[in-house]
């Protein structure tokens, strides 16, 4: 784990950056969990809260992609979607490259300051079926809006080698050695083979779209309303924004929202019903939904284990999926494609 001295250094650097770049006088600052980046909760002298995001040095190299992500956040905010407001620097920039030493020598990092959205993550909340319906509907509305995004740099969203793209689910095989000795390794191998033989030939029938790519249970914020229900108050983290397919977004959302739900099999139909109230899936997309959900579960578990070994300081956060993922994967596989999809499609009517 990071030493106390290192944590203090990070907080001091973040405080200085916030004041220097944004003219914000920091009253309180604390670190927030993140997969690869440095996130800070900042409170100014008026009590206004912000999120300072320092993007990891590797992803900070791709400034064209970061500019499109920033554009997408601003675009969605202007179209009434519950996303953060990007705060401009004192010189009017929505993102800024800053050279500093975060413990690995001097490197260049992309910095953003964004508004704070109140609420709890879905990972911390039990959602009703009605809540899940509205989540599915909102994610579909977001993706529909994203198709209107205009920029000469949209081509940066197409990355055929991205290991997190569901098109590239078979790339999981290259990382499977991290599961040596785990009985789940064999199940994942079989699932990947089924993906290759069943899903791959149908991908050409999937409709391409710009998608968020990571609508997981920690990237969606909800706030309680009456009768135990919740409304979505925030969609976070556009770092996996990509040129993918509509059905990938549905599968990703279903998978992550099943993880901590007390009735995981009830999630798919509710999300799908909400989604299809905005965008209907076609026959090929529906036919592959189960294996796409399983595919994302395999990706999340295997890449999680790989990254946890690579970044042991952040193991707890990275292995978020692993805790319930093994149980969920076993359950889905035991029930099988026909039974699970039958429930989802019946519930979605």
Residues involved in catalysis? 214
| Residue labelled with tokens 């279903």 | 254
Give the pair of three-digit tokens for residue 287: 């036919």
Give the pair of three-digit tokens for residue 165: 């793209």
Q: For residue 321, which of 248, 243, 263, 259 has the smallest C-alpha distance?
A: 259
The secondary element (H helix, E strand) that includes residue 331 is helix 320-335
| Non-local CB neighbours of 34 within 8 Å, separated by 6+ positions | 314, 317
The secondary element (H helix, E strand) that includes residue 315 is helix 315-318
Q: Are 58 and 135 in contact (CB under 8 A)?
A: no
DSSP SS3 for 120? strand
Pairing of strands 220-224, 230-235: antiparallel
| C-beta neighbour count of 259 within 10 angstroms | 22
Give the pair of three-digit tokens for residue 85: 């407001």
Sort 188 into a burial class: Cβ within 10 Å, 0-12 / 13-18 / 19+. Answer: buried
Using CA atoms, how far apart are residues 332 and 274, in angstroms rounded to an integer? 22
Using CA atoms, how far apart are residues 79 and 73, in angstroms rounded to an integer? 10
Look at the chain and count its residues. Answer: 349
Q: How far is CA 98 from CA 19, 56, 63, 222, in A?
A: 13, 12, 12, 32
**Own/partner long-range contacts of 32-39 (Cβ < 8 Å, ≥24 apart):** 33/317, 34/314, 34/317, 35/307, 35/314, 35/317, 35/318, 36/311, 36/314, 37/239, 38/10, 38/14, 38/102
């Amino acid at each position: 784990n990071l030493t106390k001295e290192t944590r203090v250094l990070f907080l001091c650097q973040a405080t200085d950056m916030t004041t220097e770049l944004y003219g914000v006088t920091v009253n309180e600052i604390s670190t927030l969990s993140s997969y690869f980046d440095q996130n800070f909760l900042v409170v100014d002298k008026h009590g206004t809260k912000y999120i300072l995001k320092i993007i990891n040095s590797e992803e900070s190299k791709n400034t064209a992609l970061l500019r499109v992500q920033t554009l997408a956040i601003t675009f969605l905010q202007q179209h009434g979607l519950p996303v953060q407001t990007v705060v401009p620097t004192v010189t009017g920039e929505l993102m800024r490259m800053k050279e500093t030493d975060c413990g690995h020598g001097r490197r260049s990092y992309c910095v953003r300051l964004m508004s704070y959205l109140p609420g709890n993550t879905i990972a911390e909340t039990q959602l009703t079926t009605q809540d899940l319906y509205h989540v599915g509907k909102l994610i579909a509305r977001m993706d529909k809006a994203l198709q209107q995004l205009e920029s000469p740099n949209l081509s940066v969203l197409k990355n055929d080698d991205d290991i997190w793209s569901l098109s590239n689910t078979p790339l999981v095989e290259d990382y499977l050695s991290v599961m040596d000795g785990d009985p789940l390794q064999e199940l994942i191998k079989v699932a990947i083979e089924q993906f290759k033989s069943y899903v791959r030939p149908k991908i050409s029938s999937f409709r391409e779209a710009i998608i968020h790519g990571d609508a997981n249970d920690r990237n969606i914020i909800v706030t309680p309303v009456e009768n135990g229900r919740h409304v979505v108050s925030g969609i976070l983290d556009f770092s996996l924004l990509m040129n993918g397919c509509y059905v990938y977004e549905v599968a990703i959302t279903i998978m992550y929202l099943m993880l901590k739900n007390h009735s995981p099999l009830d999630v798919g139909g509710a999300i799908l019903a909400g989604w299809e109230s905005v965008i209907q899936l076609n026959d090929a997309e529906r036919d592959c939904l189960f294996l796409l959900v399983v595919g994302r579960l395999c990706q999340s578990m295997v890449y999680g284990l790989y990254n946890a070994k690579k970044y042991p300081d952040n193991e707890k956060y990275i292995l978020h999926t692993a805790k319930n993922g093994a149980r969920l994967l076993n359950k889905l596989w035991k029930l099988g494609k026909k039974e699970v999809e039958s429930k989802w499609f019946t519930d979605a009517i």
